[in-house]
Amino acid sequence: MDLTDEEQKFIPMVTPHHFLMFATGAAQVPVTGFDPIPSIHFVHDESKSVPSASACSNTLYLYVNETTIHNPIHRYLVTALMNGGIFSKILMSLPSKCMQYATSRYKGVCEKQQE
């Protein structure tokens, strides 16, 4: 499960800020802090490999199973970020060069987000 050349070029543009948006829906830490505090949960589920999040509970879910423990996590994280509900916010926070690549590569996802 290797990343495409385009996905590999995209990875250096992703920052912890993007994971904050994915897990909480917030573009920055609120002045009063998060309530509840953001957390990461490791879930044993053989049927899932792509991380998911709950913005209501500020939780990032990482799935642990035979597939995920034997493969690099970057593939699953890129998939999660590109298919998450806050994809358009992530695009807007990336440098324009990367944004152009991402919008052409994931055009269907972007169009869906704008509806």
Supply the CATH number for residue 97's domain.
3.30.2410
DSSP annotation of 39:
E
pLDDT in tens, 77-108: 888 887 766 655 666 665 554 444 444 444 44
Domains identified in the chain, total number: 1
With H, G, I as helix, E, B as strand and everything else as coil, classify residue 58.
coil
Q: Is the pTM of this model over 0.75?
A: no
With H, G, I as helix, E, B as strand and everything else as coil, classify residue 70.
helix
pLDDT in tens, 5-18: 777 777 888 888 88
| Residue 85, domain extent | 5-28+35-114
